[in-house]
Chains A and B, each alone.
Chain A
Amino acid sequence: MKPINTLLYSLLVAIACVLWIVFTPEPIGATGSPHPDVPSMRVAVDGEARYTPISAPILILQTATLTAMASLLLLPFKTPLRQHGMRRRLMLVLGLSVIVWLAINMSYERFLTGPQEMENLNFIAGFPLPSALAVYAVWGVGLLLTFFYVFGFNRFIYTNEDREGFEALLREHEGES
């Protein structure tokens, strides 16, 4: 499937999820409520009550968002060689992103349905496991894109052919003017 079609379908799925969420009755305090003792601070209190009714569309929405990002990133690669090489790399990033996203969800749901006591939580680099994944792993997977850009620059982004093509265009343009 062409990247633009995948992008469109992913965005349409995202719109469907938005409608699903909009038409799901919002529990009281779904977006937090004022802290009982501290002004200008908010609390959430019952995570399970506000998360469970919409956990399915949330899961699909974020997966669609990540797929849309990967499809968009594939859009500039025109030649089959470049598209093939970059597709493999972007599929890796998409796969890892979805795995991280599922891991965040599963560990968070396990926390919500469990006893919710500190002793039951694994703290990794300063954060409980689901949050550590959100802070470090989402960022880390995204950094792979920078890595591919820098080290694949001459092969995928701006090749010798591109440079020659652009220089030829500049020469023609200067000749015309």
Chain B
Amino acid sequence: MEELRQPIILGSVLFYMVLCIGIGLWAMRKTKSAGDFFVAGRSLGPIVVGLAVFSSSLSGFGFVGGPGLVYSTGLSSVWMSTVTAFGFAIGFFLIAKRIRMIAEVRDTLSLPDIVAARYNSELARGLTGVTILLGVLGYMATQILAMAMVLKALLAATPMFADISLVTCAVISTSVLIFYSVTGGIIASVYTDLVQGSIMIVAGILVVITAANVFDGGMTEVSQTIFADDPEAIMPFGTVGAVGVLSWFFLFGFGLAGQPHIITKMMMNRRIEDNKIILPMSMLGYAVAVLLWVSVGLVMRAVVVGDMLTPLEAADQAAPVFLSEYAHPLLAGIVFAGLFAAIMSTADAFLNIGAAAIVHDIPKAVRGMAMKAELTSARWATVIISLIATGFALYAHYGSGQLVALLGAFGWGTFAAAIVPIVVIGLNWKRATRPAAITAIIFSLVINLAFQVLGWSLPYAMHPGFLALLVSMVLFILVSFATPEEEIAKDINRIMEL
């Protein structure tokens, strides 16, 4: 079986990509309007939405970056993952019901539509749209680069493709992504998420079992081996220290509910009652993925400091090396397919909200109406965003990473800082005002960009996104109190009463 390892892995990845293309073709027949393209006509069942929420919230970071972070810094990043129990709850307690209601009453297609309805402000819509678009380009570039690098590593291990270039790998992987995202829109996206989420759960369970059996003494021996090398690495704050990890706890706990690709999925379920199934589904999927993230990272740290394996050149190799050293070839095949699944499920969600920003949100904010032929325009916008992001990704790899890094500054932290106050608080507090919303968005952009452009850093590894989110939440509440109370649209007001 060992000699078939490479063909099995490549076969699994190829099968997965063909499956995505098939789903894209199937979904094309169901996509007849912009509403179908962006929010699946609000017709999805709870299991589909639950797995879509979980899989799109966990990008390639969960399968590659997460284990790498644990390998490098010990238990520090555990706080990023355990807090998701609070993060998902905040999202569902505060906004899932209201967003689904506003989506139906106002026939909204995107998060900026919700913001415009709540604050009766085209400026707030436009600023939210621009924030999303900038964040999407940065996110997409990193996801495409990750896909291309993983594919290159897989193909280069076979004699036939030993010299394959990164550009070719970027073209192959992006083509699959573009194909199913363009043909099937969000319907293809969520049904591939269903497949992707299922693969990630199965892969996660099998990998955790494998990891727990690398040492005869199980995870206790893993911890003891790490402890013997550096006790702090296996202590609750890891090597990063308490301030850094608590800033992650704050950012990920509050910020999960501010991610537009997750919020948008809350508009898509068929019935509001489905939320009581969607939340535990999402939590279950995330819990399994987190077990993979932590166990693989710890086992790889233990085998290296315990002199059972030569040190890795880069921390991000932790998961791939674990798979090649300890996983059965069939499991390695499933996990590599799962890795592509994790990256693509996030990328397609971002493509969708980015396309909505271009054809729907920004034009509506600027000239009062969306682009004509919205469905066709959305498909073209999807292609354009993918091509620009691929260009950024390759430029970052061969030229300077600064551009992608800059756009990346508008990613997770900015989404959290801009969207948590205006949506999570704003949809539950009638006293929130338009000037407060605009202030929160602008400050979140300025703080995150300033830290990135000026190269500032905070002491004790405090995350800049944490500071941006903390400041924007406080400003949002204070400015709301300081500005005159505003009248809320009658239908939105009634929804906020429910």
Contacts and interface: CB of A to CB of B under 8 A. Distances in A.
A26 B242 CA distance: 13
Contacts of A11: 470, 473-474, 477
24 contacts: A30-B241, A30-B461, A32-B73, A39-B313, A40-B313, A42-B239, A43-B233, A43-B239, A44-B74, A54-B243, A72-B424, A73-B94, A108-B235, A111-B235, A118-B228, A121-B227, A131-B223, A134-B79, A138-B82, A139-B82, A142-B89, A149-B89, A158-B275, A169-B105
Contact of B218 (A126, A130, A162): A126
Given A45-B232, A72-B424, A126-B218, A40 B72 contact: yes
A34 B233 CA distance: 12
B431 interface: yes
B86 A133 contact: no
B10 interface: no
Interface residues of A, number: 74
Contacts, number: 242
B395 interface: no
B231 A135 contact: no
Nearest to A125: B219
Interface stretch (B259-267, B360-368, B490-498): B490-498
A65 B466 CA distance: 11
A102 interface: no
B232 A44 contact: yes
A18 B97 CA distance: 34
- In the complex, the 10 A-B pairs of residues with the closest C-beta atoms, listed nearest first: A142-B85, A126-B219, A44-B232, A32-B239, A145-B89, A134-B236, A31-B461, A43-B230, A153-B276, A75-B428
Nearest to B227: A118
The SS class assigned to the A binding surface is helix
A150 B250 CA distance: 24
Contact of A135 (B74, B249, B294, B428): B294
The SS class assigned to the B binding surface is helix
B279 interface: yes
B222 interface: yes
A146 interface: yes
Interface of A: 4, 7-8, 11-12, 14-15, 18, 21-22, 26, 30-32, 35, 37-45, 47, 50-51, 54, 58, 61-62, 65, 68-69, 72-73, 75-76, 78, 104, 108, 111, 116, 118, 121, 123, 125-128, 130-131, 133-135, 138-139, 141-143, 145-146, 149-150, 153, 157-158, 162-163, 165-166, 169-170, 173
